[in-house]
Structure 1
Amino acid sequence: MDEAVGLLEDEPGSGAFADLVPEDVWLAFLRFGRRLFHVPDTPDADGLLFQYGTDAFDGPATFTLDLTRQFEVSDSDGDHDHYVQVPCELRYGLTPALEALGSFHSWFFHHAGADLEEWAQGLTERAVWTAIRGLKPTEIRVYQERV
């Protein structure tokens, strides 16, 4: 799990995320999402989050497509201690088409009995892909944080 950011950053192969179109970033994220990590044996210990919307947390309003992997971390007694998240954020200048999408989020958890491929297929049909097609992100951030 400590190497998760590096593994995600290495997913595109020889290129960097900044050189990829959004659909390729999504495919790289899904490849990363298929990798299994040692996590506690609970249904929500290893999850993928697909979300988008408009925010203005650190400056002017932007549209953000956020692809996040979340891991549960347990203490020495096996109880929940915290989560570690590895987000990949694609940020765009705000346009009327992006703003009209509103916000959306969807979780997938590896040990909850759902099918990753079905979850991903449903998300590839969302209007966000049409709205961002041809747009270059103003920023792509990949990082790790404790939550």
Structure 2
Amino acid sequence: MDRAESRLQHALSRGQQPLAELDLDEVWLRFVRFGSQRLDTADTPDADGLLFQYGTHAFEGPPVFTLDLARQFEMNDASGEHDHYIQLHCELRYEPVPRLRALGHFESWFFHGTDDELDRWADGLRRQEFWTIVRHFHPHEIRVYQEKV
């Protein structure tokens, strides 16, 4: 778990193509591959989850359309009780052109250890109408970071 961020960086940077040159399809493929690798997590239903979300936000200045791929891990204290979550993000940031802003906001979760299958969840997202729209744009920045929530 301590190396999750470096493992994601490695998964995204595999091959000769720099991270900044990757498109949505390639980042998604690499992120899902990373998400399929099980890590040593707590034995609870929401201990290891993947989040796909997008929307237009102005958290750090002017508005940006952000497509955020996150993996969330539940962290427990010494007695095995929930303490906090660690979220590992891969954000694709786009100019907030009207076509992207019109998509509004969306989120979808997948959790390991449920009846859902990762590949079915991932393929289902790629068949959504928003995917066809977003893939026509290239992110101006791809950012990987980790946060405690």
Q: Identify whether the pair has TM-score above 0.5, normalized to the shorter chain.
A: yes
The question of whether the paired residues in 2 share the 8 Å contact of 1:9 and 1:16 is answered with no
The question of whether the paired residues in 1 share the 8 Å contact of 2:125 and 2:131 is answered with no
Match of 1:100 in 2: 102
Aligned-partner Cα distance in 1 for 2:32–2:69: 9
Aligned residue among 65, 71, 74 for 2:73: 71
SS at match of 1:11: helix
Match of 1:4 in 2: 4
Aligned-partner Cα distance in 2 for 1:139–1:108: 25
Match of 1:42 in 2: 44
The question of whether the paired residues in 2 share the 8 Å contact of 1:66 and 1:89 is answered with yes
Match of 2:60 in 1: 58
RMSD: 1.1
SS at match of 1:130: helix
Structure 1 stretches lacking a partner, 5+ long: none
Q: What's the CA shift for 1:121?
A: 1.0
Q: Cα deviations across residues 2-44 of structure 1 (Å, max 9, x unaligned)? A: 1111111111313332121111000010000000011110000
Structure 2 stretches lacking a partner, 5+ long: none
Q: What's the CA shift for 1:101?
A: 0.7
The question of whether the paired residues in 2 share the 8 Å contact of 1:51 and 1:67 is answered with yes
SS at match of 1:41: coil
Aligned-partner Cα distance in 2 for 1:136–1:79: 42
Aligned residue among 118, 121, 136 for 1:119: 121
SS at match of 2:68: strand
Q: Cα deviations across residues 48-69 of structure 1 (Å, max 9, x unaligned)? A: 0000011111111111100000
Q: Normalising by the residue count of structure 2, what TM-score does the alignment of the two structures yield?
A: 0.94
The question of whether the paired residues in 1 share the 8 Å contact of 2:45 and 2:113 is answered with yes
How many residue pairs match? The answer is 147
Give the fraction of aligned pairs with identical amino acids, expressed as a percent: 54
